[in-house]
Chain A
Amino acid sequence: MIRNFIISGAGGQGVLSIGTILTNIFMLNGKFVSFSPCYGAEMRGGAVNCEINASDEELFCIQNKEVDFVVALNQTSFDKFISKVKKNGTIIVNSSLAKINKTRDDIKYIFAPLTQEALNLGNIKVANSIALGILSKITDNFSIENVKKAYEKILKDKKELIQKNIEAYFIGYNYIQER
């Protein structure tokens, strides 16, 4: 089965790092996976996004017309990528920075106040990890060992930050349950 993802947001929101962590998790889970970032102009304008494709079989397309899952960390990316969600796909929207508004009825919406939850945790920068937790819950239910390994790979020896991100990941993971 092929699953594809777009992570989008503003520069500084950790779009590419959470994309890389997600890619690493799939790799550690033994999937074929590709990570393609947007680079250059859009980054300078403040908008960042990346596309991740994961599959049990060899993967060919690294860019797709539509994807199964979109994470939109701010209003701009919500507006821009809502049209990229496949029919019956899911968009996770950071409702702290984007208005709750359902313009399509053929997709699933998950609105979560990611920035607010991150602030509650004491670090605004871990909003992306909360989104990752939600993704994990609604997709493959990643093994926590691999999630930890992926964070350790990206954040190296920043132990406290890894801990904080894992905490955020679990807030996201449990977010759907609690609702």
Chain B
Amino acid sequence: MNEKELLKGNIAIAKAALNCGCKCYFGYPITPQTEIGEFLSGEMQKRKLAYVCAESEIAAINMALGAASTGAKVMTSSSSCAVSLMQEAISYASSDELPIVIVNVMRAGPGQGYIFPSQGDYNQATIGGGNGDYKTIVLSPSSVQECVDLTYKAFYLAQKYRTPVILLADGMLGQMAEPASITENPYPEIDNSSWILDGAKSRPAREIHSLEPSQNKLNRHIIELYKKYTTIEQNECDWEEYNCDDIEVLITAFGTMARHAKALCNHYRKKGIKMGLFRPKTLYPFPYKRLNELSQKVNVVIDIEMNMGQMLKDVRLAVLSNAKVSFIGKPTGDMLREEEMVDASKNVLKEYYANI
């Protein structure tokens, strides 16, 4: 089980889902994530699990919403423009407090855009593309191994907090392959017997709904939801620090972009500039506190994204006036190469380093 194999990101997500007891998958094909559904179709049928080739992403997420009410572990996957179709039900599931794992293997937008990799859905995922006061936990894998690890975590957090969790990968990670192992799921099972809908046997009937005509009750419900979000923010922030012990310059990046950002750090380290990387693994909750601490040690923070600067506002909220924040980004297509980042960062760094 723990032996490394050459795995595509999409397949790693699918295998990890199966391995941690995902009982239901509902989906509709869209590049660049279709392999998830293709892989699970055969495997789940073999195991007599629930798999439906849904008629649309709207149907898929609503099937997931229904299935989640039974206490079964549920996943759906899609990409960008089609994840937009799911936003209504994600808002419902947040209010209903139903655990659903939603995988978004991002492609470029807006609109249909194209299948090129992109990180353009940061805002949609972290702020919420649906209506009302709610938040969605968002996990950001950077490698195929993390596709496995964070899929486990997504299921765990979804069950633990009874809330939808988005696994936000990009097309490059979904399609690329590297050695990874389907490790054991390290998380415990969560007892859900107090809320699931399995028939009112020896207990009063239960209702799960977001509709609430009473002002007071609706206010109370939303305030309770926000207490939960506060707990999540306190307990679940997760990040990686790369060469941050003695930083002079801090890079922020997430997902696959953070890999190339590490190469940039190494490039400047060789030149004597102490550059480190801060990579949030949870985009919501965003690790503001730690980034704020690190930013106190530097003059400048450079945020690098495969979009036009979406995490940038969270970086600014964390850094405040501690350091100057600048941005390097490109919305889609080929990822920013090391050389392109070196060129772009020179303009920022020359203010602090004369001989760059």
Contacts and interface: CB of A to CB of B under 8 A. Distances in A.
Interface string B152-182: 0000000000000000000110011111000
Q: Most chain-B Cβ atoms within 10 A of its Cβ — which of A27, A32, A34, A153?
A: A34
B6 A35 contact: yes
A24 B6 contact: yes
Nearest to A53: B178
B262 interface: yes
B346 to A, nearest CB: 16
Judged by DSSP, the binding face of A is mixed
A63 interface: yes
Q: How large is the interface on A (under 10, 10 to 19, 20 to 34, 35 or more residues)?
A: 20 to 34
Interface in A68-88: none
B220 to A, nearest CB: 48
B273 interface: no
Contacts of B177: 20, 23, 34-36
Interface residues of B, number: 26
A161 B93 CA distance: 51
Contacts, number: 65
B88 interface: no
B178 A64 contact: no
Interface string A56-70: 000011111100000
Contacts of A1: none
Interface in A33-54: 33-37, 39-41
Interface string B127-150: 000000000000000000000000
Given A39-B31, A40-B114, A41-B115, A61 B179 contact: no
Contacts of B171: 39
Contacts of A41: 114-115
Nearest to A34: B178
A61 B31 contact: no
A63 B334 contact: yes
A62 B339 contact: no
A33 B266 CA distance: 18
Nearest to A37: B175
B337 A60 contact: no
Contacts of B32: 39-40
A170 B32 CA distance: 36
A65 B114 CA distance: 22
A16 to B, nearest CB: 10
B155 to A, nearest CB: 26
Contacts of A63: 172, 260, 334-335, 337
Interface of B: 4, 6, 31-32, 114-116, 171-172, 175-179, 256, 259-260, 262-263, 266, 334-335, 337-340
30 contacts: A20-B6, A23-B6, A23-B178, A24-B6, A34-B177, A35-B178, A37-B176, A39-B31, A39-B115, A39-B171, A39-B175, A40-B114, A60-B259, A60-B260, A60-B263, A61-B263, A61-B337, A61-B338, A62-B172, A62-B176, A62-B256, A62-B259, A63-B172, A63-B260, A63-B334, A63-B335, A63-B337, A64-B337, A65-B337, A65-B340
